[in-house]
Chain A
Amino acid sequence: MTDVAKRSSRAPVPSGWEYAPAPEARDIVRIEERYGLYVDGQWLEAKEHYTTISPSSEEPLAEIAQAGPEEVATAVAAAREAAENGWAEISPTERAKYLFRIARILQERSREFAVLESLNGGKPIRESRDVDLPLAAAHFFYYAGWADKLEYAFPNRRPRPVGVAGQIIPWNFPLLMLAWKIAPALAAGNTVVLKPAETTPLTALLFCDVVRQAELPPGVVNIVTGDGRTGAELVRSEVDKIAFTGSTEVGKAIQRELAGTGKRLTLELGGKAANILFDDCALDQAIEGIVNGIYFNQGHVCCAGSRLLVQESIYEQAVAKLKRRLKTLRVGDPLDKNTDVGAINSKQQLEKIRELVEAGEAEGAEIYQPPCRLPEKGYWFAPTVFTNVAQSYRIAQEEIFGPVLSVLTFRTPEEAIEKANNTPYGLSAGVWTEKGSRILWMAQRLRAGVIWANTYNRFDPSSPFGGYKESGFGREGGRHGLEPYLEFE
């Protein structure tokens, strides 16, 4: 055996290898000083404004319109006018053409959108460039293909558009969620009034320029910005359908508001997904997938694998590997091409994460955070792992929506199922094993809308996405994603 000490001629070991900053250039994006509301193909001035910032530096970026009841009503009326006079009547192949155009323009301008997304939302440029933008374009391509094939998608059911869709989207994937909402709605022949999240309106506002470039008829896509009050106005307005992605709390409020009105509703809400690690998994790759499952987009992912269930026989080894891997995560400037984990989206969210992490420590869980230098300005939270977590702790029950992983153990597949399903949510789950039959056995028993096997956080426009229980109802993506936007005779 080689004796380590025997290597006396060893050259001095370098103390480290610091990568030089590799920032993506910002100058490709032009941000206006002040934005209006995009209604009926024109910019409408609002009475009130608020400032949107970059969460990684707290630098103010632009003044954003706060749409009030009148402005929302104007936008809905414009969408109604477009829906009844034109958009639904033009030939489906024409509709497809517009969607294909939007997809192509998004691809052409992807760098611009990626930089803006990282700037306004805090996510690493690596993710906005390699995930958000390609997927957003792919959604428009995919639904463009359905636009003239609706009769085949739903044979003998004579699909018709619902009318005007009010769509409210979250701040974690601003442009991608816009694509998930707008693409199927337009393909099905609806018009939309979309409200981007309060903290991340800029890519939606830049998308208005794509709408203009694609020469979409006025009123088909309307964008109204603002905080929760604007969202509430949209819910109360004369729309035919509401599609909401966001927190379970707000989702419930919307459902109460709409009860008895006859307006249709789909909700995509929170999650507390379990990633289940069996002792026969390909361990190094599984750890990589676990890390991707929870630290991707700072854990601001509704389907994030925020609970790790490890088979007890490999617990020590798995946790050691996980901690080691955390040390190599690069936290910092979202625009640096080597950044793995970016900034927390808002001060409010940072406070929520801190509160839950403190609760975890108080309840007796063991916390681990790798040594990393966090920038002084902006909103930051180090990647965190909790071990010694009991099923009853808040950090094992509540959605944290941040880079925080809770590790629990199990002994048998039955116990894994029981623990994974023991949550009010049911959006997603992950199974890690090299045994194919076990994957199928688990998938039949897990109550979650999406189940990944030996991978995590993979999305494709052709695959439906949505939840069980408090994670919502309705599906987005795939043929299923068209259904909420269609009436059937």
Chain B
Amino acid sequence: MAQAPALPSGFELPLEPRLPRIGSIDAVAVEARADDLARRSIKRESKVFALELAIRMMDLTTLEGADTPGKIAALASKAIRPDPSDPNIPSVAALCVYPNLVPHALERLRGSGVKVASVATAFPSGQAPLDVKVREVEEVVAMGADEVDMVIDRGAFLSGRYAKVYDEIVRVKEACGDSHLKVILEVGELGTYDNVRRASLLAIAGGADFVKTSTGKLASAATLPVTLVMLEAIRDVYEETGRMVGMKPAGGIRHAKQAVQYLVQLHETLVVEWLTPDLYRLGASSLLNDVLMQIRKEKTGRYQSPDYFTID
């Protein structure tokens, strides 16, 4: 446990006491490694494989004050059949919305296999009393959301009150019941890779099914190095305990090429069992059409105008 931070009382890892070794991250080296992996040249059938997988892993997201039932209906259709002209294109993994829109999303997606994810816990800041946050989670679960995306209390984390962060995650996890819990670290506010690793392990210890990089509300969101740091935390937990935790980079992933880079990183960092929407998601709002465009280019050899892909 060299250099492990002092663990707060009440925060006990339900893992081997020796591990996971919290340790530290070398920023220069982790960025170099992420850059190396991003240089893989993925072509032809291996590229189509990645692009279709990216669609199956996508959490199509709209988190705007201006969201309406009409907007959700449009996105739900897109989620089920991303490319109406090509029946071979799979549905996305989930639609990610604000709590008030969960019933509308559920109604539109019923029977399609596309899950409904709701943000909760005073998203995006998390700056609300715990009871209010837990209540919000209970509400969205009662409405029928399959997945809950919570935010950690960064204020507590950055002031060293790890126990508070941990306790909140545990409470939210309890409130989730059978719904899956994704814990958003909001890496853009954590400042260092060391903090990202620490927060990842904290979230996993608290019961996260997924760890997620960002709310998408900050300019600084998912990056390849930060995702690598989180994958390595997931890997350490897996190797020590066998427990498989999912990963969701979100925010700033707009191009098919980036999606392929994220999947290469996943492929070469974790074992092949992680190449599934059950354990990896891409949170994005504008990525889907670029992926569709690239798939059609691979299939036909030509690029088509953006007008041939629906904007929803």
**Nearest CB of chain B from residue A87's CB, rounded to whole Å:** 41
Residues of B within 8 A of A22 (CB): 41-43
Q: Contact check, A17 vs B24: say whether CB atoms are below 8 A apart.
A: no
Query: CB of B209 within 8 A of chain A?
Result: yes
Query: CB of A463 within 8 A of chain B?
Result: no
Q: Contact check, A17 vs B28: say whether CB atoms are below 8 A apart.
A: no
In the complex, A114→B196 CA distance in Å?
Answer: 38
Nearest CB to that of B194 among chain A residues? A282
Residues of B within 8 A of A282 (CB): 23-26, 29-30
Q: Contact check, A288 vs B33: say whether CB atoms are below 8 A apart.
A: yes
Q: Contact check, B28 vs A4: say whether CB atoms are below 8 A apart.
A: no
Q: A13-B273, A15-B272 are in contact. Are A285 and B43 (CB under 8 A)?
A: no
Q: Contact check, B3 vs A17: say whether CB atoms are below 8 A apart.
A: no
Nearest CB to that of A291 among chain B residues? B33
Query: CB of B47 within 8 A of chain A?
Result: yes
Q: Contact check, B3 vs A280: say whether CB atoms are below 8 A apart.
A: yes
Nearest CB to that of A21 among chain B residues? B43
Residues of A within 8 A of B209 (CB): 2
Q: A20-B45, A279-B2 are in contact. Are A328 and B268 (CB under 8 A)?
A: yes
Q: Contact check, B33 vs A17: say whether CB atoms are below 8 A apart.
A: no
Residues of B within 8 A of A285 (CB): 25-26, 29-30, 33
Checking A9, A11, A20, A289 against B46 with a beta-carbon cut-off of 8 angstroms, the contacting residue is A20
Q: Contact check, A4 vs B26: say whether CB atoms are below 8 A apart.
A: no
Q: A18-B46, A20-B45 are in contact. Are A2 and B272 (CB under 8 A)?
A: no
Q: Contact check, B275 vs A17: say whether CB atoms are below 8 A apart.
A: yes
**Nearest CB of chain A from residue B125's CB, rounded to whole Å:** 27
Query: CB of B50 within 8 A of chain A?
Result: yes
Residues of B within 8 A of A280 (CB): 2-3, 23-24
Query: CB of B207 within 8 A of chain A?
Result: yes
**Nearest CB of chain B from residue A17's CB, rounded to whole Å:** 5
Checking A10, A15, A283, A337 against B41 with a beta-carbon cut-off of 8 angstroms, the contacting residue is A337
Q: Which residues of B21-39 have CB atoms within 8 Å of chain A's CB atoms?
A: 21, 23-26, 28-30, 33, 39
Query: CB of B277 within 8 A of chain A?
Result: yes
In the complex, A103→B269 CA distance in Å?
Answer: 38
Nearest CB to that of B178 among chain A residues? A6
In the complex, A15→B271 CA distance in Å?
Answer: 11
**Nearest CB of chain B from residue A345's CB, rounded to whole Å:** 23
In the complex, A20→B41 CA distance in Å?
Answer: 9
Q: Contact check, A20 vs B26: say whether CB atoms are below 8 A apart.
A: no
Q: Contact check, B14 vs A17: say whether CB atoms are below 8 A apart.
A: no
Query: CB of B70 within 8 A of chain A?
Result: no
In the complex, A113→B43 CA distance in Å?
Answer: 24
Residues of A within 8 A of B19 (CB): 317
Query: CB of B49 within 8 A of chain A?
Result: yes
Q: Contact check, A1 vs B14: say whether CB atoms are below 8 A apart.
A: yes
Query: CB of B12 within 8 A of chain A?
Result: no
Residues of B within 8 A of A286 (CB): 26, 29
Q: Which residues of A93-138 have CB atoms within 8 Å of chain B's CB atoms?
A: 126
Nearest CB to that of A19 among chain B residues? B46
**Nearest CB of chain A from residue B128's CB, rounded to whole Å:** 26
Residues of B within 8 A of A7 (CB): 278
Nearest CB to that of A22 among chain B residues? B41
Which DSSP category, helix, strand, loop or mixed, fits chain A's interface?
loop
In the complex, A286→B232 CA distance in Å?
Answer: 13
In the complex, A9→B147 CA distance in Å?
Answer: 14
Nearest CB to that of A14 among chain B residues? B275
Q: Contact check, A126 vs B39: say whether CB atoms are below 8 A apart.
A: yes
Nearest CB to that of A283 among chain B residues? B23
Residues of A in contact with B, size category: 35 or more
In the complex, A85→B3 CA distance in Å?
Answer: 65
Q: A17-B275, A20-B43, A279-B2 are in contact. Are A455 and B21 (CB under 8 A)?
A: no
Q: A1-B14, A2-B207 are in contact. Are A288 and B29 (CB under 8 A)?
A: yes
Query: CB of A363 within 8 A of chain B?
Result: no
Residues of B within 8 A of A455 (CB): 28-29
**Nearest CB of chain A from residue B294's CB, rounded to whole Å:** 15
Q: A4-B244, A18-B46, A282-B24 are in contact. Are A338 and B232 (CB under 8 A)?
A: no
From A15, A17, A285, A338, name the one whose CB has the most chain B CB atoms within 10 angstroms.
Answer: A285
Query: CB of B304 within 8 A of chain A?
Result: no
From A4, A10, A11, A324, name the one whose CB has the most chain B CB atoms within 10 angstroms.
Answer: A11
**Nearest CB of chain B from residue A57's CB, rounded to whole Å:** 20
Q: Contact check, B49 vs A13: say whether CB atoms are below 8 A apart.
A: no
Query: CB of B242 within 8 A of chain A?
Result: yes
Query: CB of B217 within 8 A of chain A?
Result: no
In the complex, A388→B278 CA distance in Å?
Answer: 40
Query: CB of A284 within 8 A of chain B?
Result: yes
Query: CB of A384 within 8 A of chain B?
Result: no
Nearest CB to that of B231 among chain A residues? A284
Residues of B within 8 A of A434 (CB): 3, 24, 26
Q: Mark A316-344, 1 if CB is under 8 A from B, else 0.
A: 01001000100010000000011000000
The 6 A-B pairs of least Cβ separation, nearest first, read: A285-B29, A22-B41, A282-B26, A285-B26, A280-B2, A337-B41
- Chain A interface (Cβ within 8 Å of chain B)? 1-2, 4, 7, 9-11, 13-22, 126, 279-280, 282-286, 288-289, 313-314, 317, 320, 324, 328, 337-338, 434, 454-455
- Chain B interface (Cβ within 8 Å of chain A)? 2-3, 14, 19, 21, 23-26, 28-30, 33, 39-47, 49-50, 53, 56, 207, 209, 232, 239, 242-245, 263, 267-268, 272-273, 275-278
Q: What are 22 inter-chain pairs, A to B, with CB distance below 8 A?
A: A1-B207, A2-B209, A2-B244, A11-B56, A13-B272, A13-B273, A14-B275, A15-B272, A17-B49, A17-B267, A19-B43, A20-B43, A22-B42, A280-B2, A280-B3, A282-B23, A285-B29, A286-B26, A328-B268, A337-B41, A434-B26, A454-B26
